[in-house]
Each structure stands twice: as structure tokens, then as C-alpha cells.
Amino acid sequence: MSTQRIASRLTFFGSCLVAVAALCGHCFAVNVYFDGSTSSDFLEATNWTPEHAPGSNAFDVYAIDDGLSSTLSSGSPLVNGLRVGSADKTHSIGDNHFGRLTITSGASLGVFGTNALAIGRENQTYYPVAGDYNQNTVVDAADYIVWRDTLNSTTDLRADGDDSGTIDQPDYAYWRSRFGNVVRGGEIDVTNGSTLNSNGILVGERTKGVLSIDATSTVNIRIWDTTVVPNQFGGTEDIRIGGYGPAYDDFGAEPGLNGNGLVDVRGTLNAKDAYVSEHGSTGEIRLSGTGKVNLNGSLHMDFCGNCVSDPAILALRSSTVSIVGSGGTFAVGLDPDPMVVDPAPPPRDLLAASTTATLSFTADAGGVTPIVVAQNVLPEPSGTAYINGAKLVVNLDAYTSSAPLTLISAPPLQLVGTFGSVRFTGTRTATVNYDVASGKVFLNNFHVGSGLSSSSIVMVPEPASLTLLSVAAMCGSCVFARERRRRQPAFEELRGGL
């Protein structure tokens, strides 16, 4: 068990989570590890070292690690910090860093420390997992093939699960009993009408991390502070999907960084800003079913803080938004309360002007869920959609209608740029239209093709006058430059506590 001094002042936000209480300027926070000695119950006191069940104090940072899983199925505990998978940044090769937290049965968990909730912290690109004979990070059918092809070998021991020195039948049983295991730094599953409230979260900080929200559950990465007048959002309130990756410019201190985050939204995700890939990593938001993503601030897909300048290494990073079906909602820059004017509103843009940013749409019979940059009522500001150079990937095979499909909807004149590449993954293709006047990117002229490449697809700016497109682009560039200057300092502040 390690001890860490927190050098910053802690403030409890008076809200649905905590009441206001001033704390000392130099307080001790202890990493309290989940032991799993008696049960997987998150609230079982004897599962924790020292033996304080979560919520019993306001200082400890709790951790689920060492291949253990925990379940919160009742109550509404509050904790200062929580790390799921890899509580420590460094481990020995072969250690099991995986941890899983399942929140279920209508339970609610609150993490009120600023940027104190993290999934996947260790700095190793790959570590062995039992049964993963081909080392592709998942125990699957491909591992059976390795076992079959090396059966009876005493020299090729990739599939020697029981370390007997011979590939034999027990190694098959070893693989089969572990089928489905995956290599991830950590995973949080919010299920069965449950809620996770947090003042910031980092999913996939240095390795793989997953946040899964089922159709009945909600994750709120923000706190509405009722202790100030007028009321406003307080704290960090960002969801950061993918942290430190290969392009991060500090190889000497932490080699092997492979931040990789996935947020699977089938329920509701509320946050201020979403950063999909932050320091040269890989990140994805996946929206499906009737899922809802509501961002009060911006969707950042084109930022790489403290990154190297080598184009080959920069190309390893990626930020993706994948939308499956037409039953969901994806809002960027949405005013959370039209009855209250935010005294310090955040920028509210779709920032996807990068060749490593991908917007992917898979249609169902009803079409696709568009990404909507909200048009708010003045004096609340609205945002702009910057997409110049980004990748567009579309599958239209399930959509048989000829009605136009809107992919992006921004306020009028607030669409800047065109996609750098367009790829249709199915047999049905379409024309990509950029209607700057209305702020929309939409598809029409559907037809069955034979895997047309982006170079053969007509992309039509609307209206026909290119003057309007040029003026909008220049105006947007000015706004974009101001936004870059305004948000740059915050990104350069590295969060050493995570």
C-alpha cells in the first residue's frame, strides 16, 4: 500500500454529491486497494485495506486491481478518488493489472475529487494474459489455432498454458476455461438503471480502458454547483478517452505508453467537454441503440498535447466517433438549462479538423443519428463544426430509402471545411453535400456501387456559390485560432496525480 501527499487544496462541491467543506492545505490521501478476500461486494469493509469501506472517509483513493472485480449493487457511496485497473503507473512484466467495477441494481457511485477517476493507468503496451497464446490481447478462437498447430511440440511453447514444457491436451483445457478474457487496464460497467457521477474521468489513461453504459443507466461527468449565485458547473467535468500514447513527447520517463479508451454509450452520457485522444493516444466514443451523448462544451478530436513532431508517430494516434443506427442523440455544445445563463460558458465546438479524426456512421433502416452542434438561444453561445481533413466512413447497406441523410448539423454558416477522405464500407454509396448556409453535411443520390473510393465520390458544396463557402471558412478560421489560444494552457497542465 502506497502513501501519496496531495499538495492541492481540496474543495467539496455542494451539489447532488457533496456539501461544501474546506479542507486543510496539505492532506494525506491513501491508495486503498480492493482485496476481494471475502466477496466482490464494493461495500464490504473487509475487502479493503485498510478496512474502511468506500464512503467512510473523504481522503482515500480506492483501487480495483490485480485481476479482481467488484460490484456495487446498493446505496450511493461517495469517494474522493477511484482507479479501476492499474492503480499504480508501473508494474513488473506479467503482473495482472486488470480490474473491473460493475455498478448495478439502481446503485449510484459519486467520485468528487477533480480528475480522480481513471481506468487503465499502467504504461506497458502489452502484458501476458492467461490463454492468450497469440498475444493479440484477447483469448479467442485464434489462440486455439496456435494450440492446434503446435500440439505435441516441446520447442514452440507459445500455447504451453500450464508450463509443462509440452503442448498437450491440458493446454487446450487451459485455453478453453479462459475463453473471452481480454487485456485491458480496467473496465467500468454501469448497468440496470444505475448512475455514475464524477468530477472528470480518464478512460484508457496509459493502456486499454472501457466505460460501458447500458440502455437503462446514466453517467454524469459534471457537477452542477448550487452553492454559488448564479448556479453554474464547477470543477473539471471533462471526459478524456485515451490519454498518453506513442506520440507523447516524454519517452524517457514513461516508455511503452499505449493509451486506448472506449466509451460505449447505449444509455446516457452527460459531460462538459469530451477529449477523444489527448496525448497521442487512441480513443473512441461509440453510440448505439437509443443512447444519448449530451456535451455542454466541445468535442475535441484534433488535439495532441505534448506530442512529437514526427509525422509517422503522430499518425499512430486516432480519435473516432462511431454512431450505429438512428435511434440515439449526439449533442455538442448543448445549453443544459435554458432558464439559467451560464456566467462563463465554455466553447461549444466540434473540433475534428485532423487527418487522424474519424466520424463513422452505420445506418439502420431509419438512417443515422446526426452529430448536432446545438444552436442555443442568445445570450448563450453556439458552436462551430470544424471537419477539414477528417475521415468519413459510412455504411448504408441497411438504409433502403432515397431520402437525404444528415450526418452533421451545425448552426447556419458554422460549418467549416470538408472531409479529407470519404469511404463507403458497404455496397451502397451516395453523394456527400456540404450546405454551409444551413450548416449541414448530408447524403443524397444513393446508388449501389462496387466499393467506390473517396476519390471517385462527388462532394458538392451547397449552395453553389463558393464565395459563401470561402467567407465562412475564413471566419471560422479566426474563431478557431482564438479557441486554440484560449484552451492551450489547460492542456499543458499535466495531471501528475493520475
Per-residue pLDDT of the chain (498 residues; tens, 9 = 90+): 332 322 222 233 333 333 333 333 344 567 888 988 888 999 998 899 887 888 877 788 899 987 889 999 999 998 888 999 876 655 555 556 788 999 999 999 988 877 789 998 876 545 556 788 887 667 888 888 899 899 999 999 999 988 899 999 999 988 887 776 665 588 999 999 999 999 899 999 888 899 999 999 999 997 655 566 665 555 557 999 999 888 887 655 566 678 889 999 999 999 989 999 988 899 999 999 999 999 989 999 998 988 888 888 888 899 999 999 999 999 999 887 777 777 778 899 999 999 999 999 999 999 999 999 999 888 888 999 999 999 999 999 999 999 999 999 999 999 999 999 999 998 999 999 999 999 999 999 999 875 444 433 444 454 433 334 444 444 444 443 334 333 333 333 333 344
**pLDDT at site 8:** 29
Residue 35 lies in a domain: no
SS3 content of the chain, % helix, strand, coil (to 5): 10, 35, 55
Residue 117 lies in a domain: no
Residue 400 lies in a domain: yes
Q: 226 with 14: CB under 8 angstroms?
A: yes
Query: CB count, 10 Å around CB of 26?
Result: 10
Cis-peptide, bond into residue 50, ω within 30° of zero: yes
Q: Which of these, 466, 476, 471, 405, lies nearest to 441 by C-alpha position?
A: 405
**pLDDT at site 344:** 75
Distances, alpha carbon 243 to alpha carbons 59, 202, 390, 406, in Å? 25, 7, 20, 31
Say how far apart CA 461 and CA 433 lie, in whole Å: 6
* 238 plus 302 within the same structural domain: yes
**pLDDT at site 232:** 53
Structural domain for 402, as ranges: 222-492
For 59, the grid coordinates are: 481522503
Q: Which amino acid is at 59?
A: F
* 149 plus 250 within the same structural domain: no
Residue 228 lies in a domain: yes
* 162 plus 249 within the same structural domain: no
* 287 plus 157 within the same structural domain: no
Residue 50 lies in a domain: no
* 252 plus 346 within the same structural domain: yes
* 316 plus 420 within the same structural domain: yes
Residue 24 lies in a domain: no
- pTM > 0.85: no
Give me the number of domains the chain comprises.
Answer: 2
Residue 361 lies in a domain: yes
* 161 plus 294 within the same structural domain: no
* 455 plus 337 within the same structural domain: yes
For 124, the grid coordinates are: 506497458
Q: 65 with 85: CB under 8 angstroms?
A: yes
Residue 286 CB contacts under 8 Å (≥ 6 apart), including other chains: 262, 263, 264, 265, 322, 324
Q: Go through 440-449 and write b for each residue having 16 or more CB atoms within 10 A of its CB, e for each that does not.
A: bbbbeebeee
Residue 200 lies in a domain: no
Backbone region of residue 67 per phi and psi (left: phi > 0; alpha: psi in -120 to 50; beta: other values): left
**pLDDT at site 223:** 60
* 238 plus 159 within the same structural domain: no
* 363 plus 281 within the same structural domain: yes
* 374 plus 449 within the same structural domain: yes
* 254 plus 392 within the same structural domain: yes
Give strand ranges (E) for 130-226.
186-190, 195-198, 201-203, 208-213, 218-221, 223-225
